[in-house]
Amino acid sequence: MEIFDLNGRPFVELCDLLKLTGACASGGSAKLAVAAGEVKVDGQVELRKRCKIRTGCIVEYGTERLKVV
**What dotted CATH number matches 2-68?**
3.10.290.10
Query: Helix, strand or coil for residue 58?
Result: strand
Domain spans, the chain: 2-68
Task: Round to whole Å and give the CA distance between 45 and 61.
Answer: 10
Pairing status of strand 2-4 against strand 12-13? unpaired
pLDDT at 23: 93
**pLDDT tens digits for range 21-68:** 999 999 999 999 999 999 999 999 999 999 999 999 999 999 999 999
Query: Helix, strand or coil for residue 14?
Result: helix
The answer to whether 65 and 2 are in contact (CB under 8 A) is: yes
Half-sphere exposure of 27 (CA within 13 A, CB side): 4
**pLDDT tens digits for range 6-24:** 999 999 999 999 999 999 9
